[in-house]
């Protein structure tokens, strides 16, 4: 290895690095990844060059495996206490039915901030109903919050094939429903929050709300490990983490294929409503407060930080945090291994919501 590479982080210093051998990685997380057989080089079964049908088939299979993994992530953990849950439904702008999972602390008095939660999965797979996201909403609600999980349409997987802008339309429709029911539900402020693809949808729905004169629906945005650049098949040099962390749990070749499923014709490659990284200053000016949380070992780290800097330049009240030693979405998916990081993230979201 050349001397110049020795002190460069991640794959920049060692192209053959795997996450279990990365000295930056939290060893508790490494142990959990190894136990799940995820500590080595992740397999690449599809790329952006794979025919769309093959990508969709892969994503459906990957989703099934993810369901098993996410169920195991919370299996045996005692149920959250003092949280009530109801399910309501609304009709979206496209005529489809959208389920809304509403969690709230029992006996809470006075209006409370609401978190409209948008699950991860690259806008393509997973769902709000599953046990891991239900647990996330319960534990957020325990921070004296109302939490509303949105079952938006995905571009692939068991909910059907609904590419952009279907999921975004569903989030916008959910925001309208929350606005109409704000007094009935006892909501003081509304925060859009999600991780990965959910962060994308939260950011995009906020930009969309501004363009449509509906920005009063959103009081804040809290984005976890946002997946927003679409620079995965052709990396942008200014986003170093795409090079540094590619294949440390998250292989960008597969991510690029997932992006194809979301926008099959590539017509929205730089549309901020599909990929908020490409938002203009005009798109961002006047937006409500934002918080952006990124992870050190995540390929998407630098696009999240770049968005934060764009917000700052546009005069949007905003702050950012970097969680050291962890990979993409670790604070959601590895709560057993890193419970302190899990709880610190929940607490930071609650602090943001209660500060508005």
pLDDT tier, 109 (very low <50, low <70, confident <90, very high otherwise): confident
What is the model's pLDDT at position 263?
98
What is the model's pLDDT at position 79?
86
Residues 128, 333, 296: CA angle, nearest 5 degrees: 120
Residue 355 has pLDDT above 70, yes or no: yes
Sheet holding 318-323, edge to edge: 83-91, 97-105, 146-150, 112-118, 187-195, 220-224, 290-295, 318-323
Residues 6+ apart with CB under 8 A from 305: 292, 294, 320, 322
Task: Kindly list the distances between the CA atom of residue 95 and the CA atoms of 169, 288, 351, in Å, as whole numbers in the listed order.
Answer: 11, 29, 36
Mean confidence (pLDDT) of the chain = 96
Q: Buried (b) or exposed (e) across 227-249, using 16+ Cβ within 10 A? A: bbbbbbbebbeebbbbbbbbbbb
Distance CA 70, CA 107 (A): 30
3-class DSSP state of 213 = coil
What is the model's pLDDT at position 5?
54
Place of tokens 């040099």: 237
Q: What is the pLDDT of residues 186-215, one digit of tens each?
A: 999 999 999 999 999 999 999 999 999 999
Residues 6+ apart with CB under 8 A from 352: 191, 220, 222, 289, 291
What is the model's pLDDT at position 243?
98
Q: What is the pLDDT of residues 138-181, one digit of tens each?
A: 999 999 999 999 999 999 999 999 999 999 999 999 999 999 99
What is the model's pLDDT at position 166?
98
Task: Kindly list the distances between the CA atom of residue 151 and the CA atoms of 7, 51, 159, 204, 329, in Å, as whole numbers in the listed order.
Answer: 44, 28, 10, 17, 19
pLDDT tier, 1 (very low <50, low <70, confident <90, very high otherwise): very low
pLDDT tier, 6 (very low <50, low <70, confident <90, very high otherwise): low
Residue 3 has pLDDT above 60, yes or no: no
pLDDT tier, 110 (very low <50, low <70, confident <90, very high otherwise): confident
What is the model's pLDDT at position 7?
80
What is the model's pLDDT at position 228?
99
Residue 59 CB coordination number (10 Å): 25
Q: What is the DSSP letter of 43?
A: P
Residues 69, 291, 294: CA angle, nearest 5 degrees: 45
**DSSP string across 47-104:** -TTS-HHHHHHHHHHHHHHHHHHHHHHHTTPPPPSSEEEEEEEEE-TTS-EEEEEEEE
Residue 300 has pLDDT above 60, yes or no: yes
By the 8 A CB rule, do 88 and 102 touch? yes
- Provide the token pair at 200: 């994308």
Residue 2 has pLDDT above 60, yes or no: no
Length of the chain counted residue by residue: 356
Q: What is the pLDDT of residues 254-278, one digit of tens each?
A: 999 999 999 999 999 999 999 999 9
Q: What percent of the chain has pLDDT over 90?
A: 96
Calculate the CA 261 to chain-centre distance. Answer: 17
What does DSSP say about strands 187-195 and 112-118: parallel, antiparallel, or unpaired? parallel
What is the model's pLDDT at position 54?
98
């Amino acid at each position: 290895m050349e001397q110049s590479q020795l002190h460069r982080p991640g794959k920049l210093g060692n192209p053959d690095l795997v996450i279990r051998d990365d000295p930056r990685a939290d060893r508790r997380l490494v142990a959990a990844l190894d136990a799940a057989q995820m500590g080595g080089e992740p397999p690449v079964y599809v790329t952006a060059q794979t025919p769309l049908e093959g990508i969709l088939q892969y994503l459906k299979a990957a989703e099934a495996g993810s369901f098993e993994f996410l169920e195991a992530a919370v299996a045996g953990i005692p149920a959250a206490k003092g949280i009530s849950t109801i399910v309501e439904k609304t009709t979206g702008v496209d005529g489809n039915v959208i389920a809304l999972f509403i969690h709230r602390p029992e006996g809470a008095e006075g209006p409370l901030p609401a978190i409209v939660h948008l699950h991860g999965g690259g806008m393509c797979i997973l769902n709000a109903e599953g046990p891991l996201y239900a647990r996330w909403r319960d534990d957020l609600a325990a921070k004296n919050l109302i939490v509303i999980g949105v079952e938006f349409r995905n571009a692939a997987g068991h909910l059907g094939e609904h590419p952009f802008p279907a999921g975004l339309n569903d989030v916008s429709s959910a925001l309208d429903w929350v606005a109409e029911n704000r007094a009935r539900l006892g909501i003081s402020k509304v925060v859009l929050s999600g991780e990965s693809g959910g962060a994308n949808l939260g950011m995009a729905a906020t930009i969309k709300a501004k363009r449509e004169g509906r920005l009063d629906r959103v009081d804040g945005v809290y984005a976890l490990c946002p997946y927003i650049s679409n620079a995965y098949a052709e990396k942008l040099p200014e986003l170093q983490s795409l090079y540094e962390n590619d294949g440390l749990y998250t292989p960008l070749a597969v991510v690029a294929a997932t992006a194809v499923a979301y926008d099959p014709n590539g017509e929205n490659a730089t549309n901020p409503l599909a990929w908020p990284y490409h938002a203009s200053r005009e798109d961002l000016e006047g937006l409500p407060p934002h918080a952006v949380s990124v992870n050190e070992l995540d390929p998407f780290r630098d696009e999240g930080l770049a968005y934060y800097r764009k917000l700052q330049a546009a005069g949007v009240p905003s702050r950012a945090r970097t969680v050291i030693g962890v990979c993409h979405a670790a604070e959601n998916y590895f709560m057993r291994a890193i419970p302190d990081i899990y709880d610190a993230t929940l607490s930071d979201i609650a602090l943001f919501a209660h500060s508005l």
